[in-house]
Amino acid sequence: MTTRDEGAAANATPSAVALGVVVVSYNTRELLAACLAHLTAAVDQIGLPAEIWVVDNASNDASAEMVAETFGSVRLLAEPRNLGFTAANNRLLGPWASGARACPDRVLLLNPDTEIDAAALRELMTTLDRDDRAAVVGPALHYPGGRFQHAAFRFPGLIQTGLDLFPVPRLLDHPINGRYPRKCYAADQAFEVDFVLGACMLIRGEALRAVGPLDEGFFMYCEEIDWCKRAAEAGWRRLCTPAADVLHHAGGATGQPAFRAAAFVQLWRSRRRYFARHASAWRRAGFAGLLRLGLASRLAGDRWSARRGRIDPAELAARRAAYREVLAPLDPDLALRADAESGRAGS
């Protein structure tokens, strides 16, 4: 690993600061540059004592070099391999949560495909500071051009799983699918939620120390859901404040081809892990049945498409392999822990 401050993440013990920011990057050079330009301007405008960190997951697009050359106030951890989104965040969250490094008063997790301004950052901090039982606050999000984007959700259950696997267009934007009504965002007042989207989440330092860092069993996807669930179980509140509005190029950090086998596998294995950790036995069984049925349906559709020449044999084989990998065994210790906790209410 190379770093602008060699060994800083492991050895230095700076004084606690008002805000610590972690941005994890992977081949998002242009988006990252825009993200950091807006972020550093916002921090400077507020005049906030802050540490801004970029953890680069072995990007091959010169992202790390761009950060080092362009953003002198930003601290850089350039990893020699892709740690995954969660473990990369934990390069800072772990030491902060454990006390190995002085934990900032507030910790902002920010995706490189976001742009935040001073007004939004100030509103997030004000909302968090106003409620001493709030573990995390998220903003409203919008797509480029201003189109609305859901920024907070109910904890996932079987209905949401079913709609992900068997979409019903008129229900996808509905509360039955875990979405909060648009009127909650239009009211422009903070409202309590189950979890906020991990693209932008401001965490209270005290809550990070109490709940712990992200679970690295989630390579990517669902890590923020799991963290918010653990916070809820510990009695912390989670809030969304629409008065803070952040631009999110959704999917910009991962790209959005028609089918990305690796991302598909990570998404559904992460969802399996979430249900194994937090759902009751019958909900785990229901989720497993829905997932198998959904994958079987997708495979049947893929075979139909292959017969009509819409996808080639190599693509069909890749999809079939991805579906098998989704269903491969999880960590057996996790299953044992879930069984031991099966009396706990699930989502």
Q: How far apart are CA 85 and CA 88, in angstroms?
A: 5
Q: Average the pLDDT over 318-325 and give the result.
A: 95
pLDDT digits (tens, 9 = 90+) for 10-37: 444 444 689 999 999 999 999 999 999 9
Question: What ranges do the domains of the chain cover?
Answer: 2-248, 261-340
pLDDT value of residue 251: 64
CA triple 124-127-53, angle to 5 deg = 30
pLDDT value of residue 339: 42
Q: Tell me the pTM.
A: 0.89
3-state helix, strand, coil in the chain (%, to 5): 45, 20, 35
CB contact set of 173 (below 8 Å; sequence gap of 6+): 150, 179
pLDDT value of residue 89: 97
Say if residues 278 and 229 touch (Cβ distance below 8 Å): yes
CB contact set of 26 (below 8 Å; sequence gap of 6+): 56, 57, 58, 59, 63, 82, 85, 253
pLDDT value of residue 256: 41
pLDDT bracket for residue 187 (50, 70, 90): confident
73 C-beta neighbours (distance < 10 Å), count: 11
Say if residues 141 and 246 touch (Cβ distance below 8 Å): yes
Q: Average the pLDDT over 285-311 and give the result.
A: 96
* Fold that domain 2-248 belongs to in CATH: Spore Coat Polysaccharide Biosynthesis Protein SpsA; Chain A (3.90.550)
**Phi-psi sector, 58: left (phi>0), alpha (psi -120 to 50), beta:** left
